[in-house]
Amino acid sequence: MILGIESSCDETGVALYGVHQGLIGHQLHTQVDMHRAYGGVVPELASRDHIRRIVVLTENLLAECGHSLDSIDAIAVTAGPGLGGALLTGTSMAAGLGLALDVPVWPIHHLDGHLLSPLMGADTPEMPFVALLVSGGHTQLMAVRGVGHYELLGETLDDAAGEAFDKTASLLGLGYPGGAALSQLARTGNPMRFTLPRPMIRSGDLEFSFSGLKTAVLTEVRALEAAGQFDAAVRADLAASFEAAVIDVLSAKCGAALRKTGMRALVVAGGVGANVRLRAVLERSMRALGARVHFPPQALCTDNGAMIAHAAALAYQAGLLDRSSRSDSFGVRPRWPLAGSRTTT
């Protein structure tokens, strides 16, 4: 029985995962409301809030699942990448509990959690697969050949896809984080109204760039404002045109990654994976390539403790972690490349 702890950014997540039973339960607290007033995550506030929540969430989790601390055989904790102080909250909790319970503490890579999270769904992909990680901090294509065997195929050279959604949402006067709100607004808009760039769509590699797209939206917004035309209908059209541009690029690069690797399955993980239109377009375009696309359960798209415990369970089953593997400190790795690194340190 593994206790999973996630505190790398603005979500405090804990979960109980049985290596044979699967997910037993999870608890999540999101700090989105707290950070909204600042238009982004304030690292120091994030760490303090994790401290306030993490013990209570763990107690609630155990009570809800009908377990006690004695049930825990190992602790899996996000050790990076993420905000240093926020990560330290989770690793300190894990180190303390590990010492008190005399159980191993396993440092887990946050993206390992996201990457493998579709395997928790009902429709699980077979390895090998190509994974598209699209979150507020990352846009990467990875070849996943086995648990812990990852090859970085390409990534963003500047903004992450989620970051582009958030910045564009802010230009359109939507709150933070604006990805979901922008997508909601886009439903009523015309995606053909504005011709926005599809950055690097024909670059011949698997790299991405989204900062120019945000600038293109900014240019349109300024022109529309100057012309007194920046009304609700135009905003919806701009949202739809922006969303279509991002999805076109993501879909084209996913297709190119499948062709390059010869793999037949695509897995989409990270917060932007919750985007309904992205899901629909990828389903269609991957089917046309004779490939299947898999998504994590909608509730586990954003950061959570379940994906961390789950990644640890798979690494344990693959022999990458064992009862003697312990973290000897509560060291964190705010910057920690995934490819080539095993989840253990």
Q: Where on the chain is the footprint of ligand KG4 (CB under 6 A)? A: 9, 135-137, 162, 165-166, 177-180, 183, 270-272, 274-275, 302-303
CB of 114 to Zn ion, least distance (A): 5
Token match 């005399």: residue? 102
Quote the least distance from Cβ 10 to ligand KG4, whole Å.
Answer: 8
Contact positions with Zn ion (CB under 5 A) in 124-183? 135
Residue of 125, 261, 303, 311 interacting with Zn ion (CB under 5 A): 303
User: Strand locations in 181-264, DSSP E?
Assistant: none
* Least gap, CB of 118 to Zn ion (angstroms): 14
Residue 27 interacts with which of Zn ion, ligand KG4, none, CB < 5 to 8 Å by class: none
Report in angstroms how near the CB of residue 229 gets to ligand KG4 at its nearest: 25
Which of ligand KG4, Zn ion, none does residue 31 bind to, with CB < 5 to 8 Å depending on kind? none
CB atoms within 10 A of CB 60: 15
| Nearer to ligand KG4 (CB atom), residue 125 or residue 137 | 137
Q: Cβ 332 to Zn ion, closest distance in Å?
A: 15
Return d(Cα 189, Cα 244) in angstroms, integer: 11
Torsion 276-246-141-305 (CA) sign: negative
**Which of residues 31 and 135 has its CB atom nearest to Zn ion in the complex?**
135
Q: Please identify, using beta-carbon distances, which residue of 185 and 311 lies nearer to Zn ion.
A: 311
Among Zn ion, ligand KG4, none, partner that 162 touches (CB below 5 to 8 angstroms by kind): ligand KG4
Q: Are strands 74-80 and 2-6 parallel, antiparallel or unpaired?
A: parallel
Query: Closest distance between ligand KG4 and the C-beta of residue 187, in Å?
Result: 11
12 binds Zn ion (CB under 5 A): no
Residue 304 within binding range of Zn ion, rule CB under 5 A? no
Short-list 201, 228, 197, CA closest to 213 = 197
H helix and E strand count, the chain = 10, 10
Residue 112 within binding range of Zn ion, rule CB under 5 A? no
Q: How many CA atoms are closer than 13 Å to the CA of 198, on its beta-carbon side?
A: 13
DSSP secondary structure letter of residue 323: T
3-class DSSP state of 258: helix
The reply to whether 11 sits near Zn ion by the rule CB under 5 A is no
CB of 4 or CB of 179, closer to ligand KG4: 179
Contacts of 246 (CB under 8 A, 6+ apart): 161, 164, 165, 210, 213, 278
Of residues 34-73, which lie at the interface with Zn ion (CB under 5 A)?
A: none
Q: How far is the CB of 303 from ligand KG4 (least distance, A)?
A: 5
Which burial class, exposed, middle or buried, applies to 342 when counting CB atoms under 10 A from its CB (0-12, 13-18, 19+)? middle
List the end-to-end C-alpha distance of the chain, in Å, as a whole number. 21
- Answer with the entry of ligand KG4, Zn ion, none that 272 interacts with (C-beta below 5 to 8 A by kind): ligand KG4
Cα–Cα distance for residue pair 344/177, rounded to 1 Å: 32
Which residues form the interface with Zn ion (CB under 5 A)? 135, 303
